[in-house]
């Protein structure tokens, strides 16, 4: 059974069809990569799957349960879905540790001690334990993003959605974030990642999903996409990314 799945998901903003009839599923332990040109609907799709926005039509299943028609407690479900955005948006007045502790205490109800212990574990996983008491302003963009990832994994989500987590980073800083994401994938974390980091896709993706103009144009293994995409659009886009 898929942890998260959508069927015929469509999201329309005014006259813009941001996502059109998209169906996909992510199984436990899988890593899937979504890629495609700017405006192709990647973020919209992730926001819908993360239950941050309601689709115009279509169905979303969380562990096989239809989220919207069965009147689930959305906040409870949202707590089981981690989200990492392009910008980590950490609270400036809280340390790295404080940022990770917050959700553990206030959403999951951990005691201060338990929350701090769990937060430190998560910071270790992203190799930020030595920076626990630093404030965001004292951290590089890549380090801040790793704290953002720690904040997501500390909550023990069943899946983590990443929306271009390295797009705002300099080339040198990208790799430290990607390397942490690769570790997570290797540990069996279930992940759906919008990214154009082809090396990450090649090394860890079970499947790549190419979107254009709101639609899924092609789904395949990294090997297929690197060797011979089936569609002209995917071929052109891969060629552009590979420069």
Q: Which residues bind Mg ion (CB under 5 A)?
A: 42-43
Which of 38, 37, 41, 33 has its CA nearest to residue 208? 33
Work out which of 30, 44, 99, 190 binds ligand ATP, going by CB under 6 A: 44
Applying CB under 6 A, does 43 fall inside the site for ligand ATP?
yes
Rounded least distance, CB 41 to Mg ion, Å? 8
Q: Which of 224, 193, 200, 237 is nearest to 36 (CA)?
A: 237
Q: Rounded CA gap, 96 and 131, in Å? A: 7
Residues with Cβ within 8 Å of 49's Cβ and at least 6 positions away in sequence, in order, are: 4, 6, 60, 81, 161, 192
Site for ligand ATP in 1-40 (CB under 6 A): 13, 16, 18, 36, 38-40
- Measured between alpha carbons, how far is residue 55 from residues 86, 100, 159, 160, 208 in Å? 22, 30, 19, 19, 22
CB of 3 to ligand ATP, least distance (A): 22
Minimum CB–partner distance for residue 199 and ligand ATP (Å)? 19
Nearer to ligand ATP, 114 or 215 (CB): 215
The interface partner of residue 13, options being ligand ATP, Mg ion, none and the CB cut-off 5 to 8 Å by kind, is ligand ATP
Binding-site ranges for ligand ATP (CB under 6 A)? 13, 16, 18, 36, 38-44
């Amino acid at each position: 059974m898929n942890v998260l799945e959508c069927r015929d998901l469509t999201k329309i903003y005014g006259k813009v069809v941001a996502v059109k009839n998209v169906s996909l599923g992510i199984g436990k332990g899988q890593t899937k990569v979504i890629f495609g040109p700017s405006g192709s609907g990647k973020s919209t799709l992730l926001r819908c799957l993360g239950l941050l926005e309601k689709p115009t039509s279509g169905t979303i299943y969380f562990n096989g349960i239809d989220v919207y028609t069965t009147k689930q407690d959305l906040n409870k479900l949202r707590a089981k879905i981690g989200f990492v955005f392009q910008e980590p948006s950490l609270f400036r007045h809280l340390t790295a540790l404080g940022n990770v502790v917050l959700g553990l205490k206030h959403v999951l109800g951990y005691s201060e001690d338990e929350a701090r212990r769990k937060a430190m574990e998560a910071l270790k996983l992203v190799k930020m334990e030595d920076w626990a008491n630093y404030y965001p302003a004292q951290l590089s963009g890549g380090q801040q993003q790793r704290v953002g990832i720690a904040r997501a994994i500390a909550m023990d989500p069943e899946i983590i959605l990443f929306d271009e987590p390295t797009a705002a980073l300099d080339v040198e800083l990208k790799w430290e974030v990607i390397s942490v994401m690769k570790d997570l994938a290797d540990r069996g974390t279930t992940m759906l990642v919008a990214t154009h980091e082809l090396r990450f896709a090649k090394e860890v993706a079970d499947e790549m999903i190419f979107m254009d103009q709101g639609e899924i144009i092609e789904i395949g293994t990294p090997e297929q996409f690197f060797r011979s995409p089936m569609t002209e659009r995917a071929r052109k886009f891969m060629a552009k990314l590979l420069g």
